[in-house]
Amino acid sequence: MSDFAGKNILVLGGSRGIGKAIVQRFAAGGGQVAFTYAGSAEAAAALAAETGSEAIRTDSADRDAVIATVAGRGPLDVLVVNAGVAMIGDPLTFDPDAVDRMIDINVRGPYHAAVEAARHMTGPGRIIVIGSVNGDRMPFAGGAAYALTKSAVQGMVRGLARDFGDRGITVNAIQPGPTDSDMNPADGPMAEAMHGFMAIKRHAHASEVAELTAFVAGPHGAMITGSFQTIDGGFGA
Ligand code: NDP
């Protein structure tokens, strides 16, 4: 596979889970890949060694650090903003600071990263944010704040697609449903309830989400923009 040969690619939040699979996919495609992480230094170093990519510590809640990291990579061909956190539970018990930090990571980080990437892109670039089917549908209690962040991604994608379209830059969201990761293990306590909402009753593999991401980022994705590509086993159907 050499579909990303010579491409300058940055994945925000690449040390584990879906982001890790995305890093592996782009590296397998010959891309020159860098990725960020916040807490998982060991996992990040192992992935960098495995894939020949570069790991950069950048907290996605730190706006200026995100902007500096994106700018520091020069003209990107592909930016994927995967870094995200999920708070699911009774909103009456949430620490408001933790909710605001989730909004910083899931919404403000992607927005500032996308704009900074577009500022430096010189060709037909690709900007992809990993949203969630919960941007469309929140079928259980306790997910309001998380769903808020993923719906916000949709508005951002629609608008930025129009802002940058005349430069051939596409802006899209990939919207996974339940996907096996530390955030949402396939054998976790919520799994059975989630499968109940799905037509195909299993968690997705992170590699399946990565493959869709690669399609949107690749040469066949030039006319896909302002869109939400859902990969959820029918969770939202
Ligand atoms: P994981 O918790 O398994 O991995 C999260 C990744 O994001 C890690 O690499 C983590 O790095 C990074 N990250 C988290 N916070 C920060 C931060 N502040 N700064 C930089 N990096 C950060 O999650 P998933 O792989 O499951 O989720 C990835 C994305 O997919 C998220 O946006 C999530 O909302 C979305 N999603 C996931 C679904 C699922 O079922 N798994 C379903 C729908 C959407 P580190 O460990 O180094 O901090």
pLDDT 10s digits, 201-230:
999 999 999 999 999 999 999 999 999 999
Confidence band of 1 (pLDDT split at 50, 70, 90): confident
pTM as predicted: 0.98
> Which residues form the catalytic set?
146
CA of 234 to the centre of ligand 1 (A): 22
CA of 4 to the centre of ligand 1 (A): 23
**Ligand 1 pocket member 38 (CB < 6 A):** yes
Task: Provide DSSP, the chain.
Answer: --TTTT-EEEEES-SSHHHHHHHHHHHHTT-EEEEEESS-HHHHHHHHHHHT-EEEE--TT-HHHHHHHHHHT-S-SEEEE-------S-GGGS-HHHHHHHHIIIIIHHHHHHHHHHHH--SS-EEEEE--GGGT---STT-HHHHHHHHHHHHHHHHHHHHHGGGT-EEEEEEE-SB-SSSS-TTSTTHHHHHHT-SS-SPBPHHHHHHHHHHHHSGGGTT--S-EEEESTTTT-
CATH architecture of 8-231: 3-Layer(aba) Sandwich (3.40)
CA of 106 to the centre of ligand 1 (A): 9
Nearest CA to ligand 1 atom 2: 183
Q: Which of 183, 212, 232 to probe ligand 1 with, by most ligand atoms within 8 A of CB? A: 183
pLDDT 10s digits, 63-82:
999 999 999 999 999 999 99
